[in-house]
Amino acid sequence: MTFTTDRKTVTEGEIVEVRWGCPGAERVELTIDNGYKTSVIPLELSGSKRFRLHRSKGRTRLVLTAYVDGKGFSKVIRMKVKEMPVTKAETVDHQGRTMSRLRQWLNMPKWQTFWRNYKMSRQALPKEKRLASRMLLMLGGAMLLGTFAPALLGVGMMAIAIYLIWVIYKR
């Protein structure tokens, strides 16, 4: 039985090639154990396969098991898996200078920041609370309109009533 890999040390995310040959075996399995999860893969009696080794606890164990007359014969290869280097993302301006969080915040229009935060917080609310906040906004608008033009207060209240009727019959 032969069992080899193209290297013994890899970085997370790299591809490793495994080659094997088990003449006379009934069936062959490859077990990959990365410390988090164990996978068993049925294989041909001989050949090669390429695997991308993702997450690992520093070592990944490859076990080739060949079954002959119901008995299993195994070979083990232990691979050292280095953690993938993390690259810190940064924002640069039109001149290629790195922008701090403060500079990013100062360069973004304030209404855009407010509107994005408002939309995100509204999406997190349950449906009933979204309806209640919409009604509160409409009621506040109608009261503000009534302050400057008292004759239009009735129009605002009518718009709120029509909206509520629409919500009731829509569902």
Least confident of 26-30, 81-85, 107-111, 156-160: 107-111
Residue-wise pLDDT tens digits, 3-14? 999 999 998 888
Least confident of 3-12, 60-69, 98-107, 139-148: 98-107
* pLDDT band with cut points at 50, 70 and 90 for residue 68: very high
Residue-wise pLDDT tens digits, 78-130? 999 888 877 777 777 778 777 777 777 677 666 677 777 778 887 888 888 88
Residue-wise pLDDT tens digits, 90-100? 777 778 777 77
* pLDDT band with cut points at 50, 70 and 90 for residue 65: very high
Contacts of 18 (CB under 8 A, 6+ apart): 3, 4, 5, 30, 48, 49, 50, 51, 62
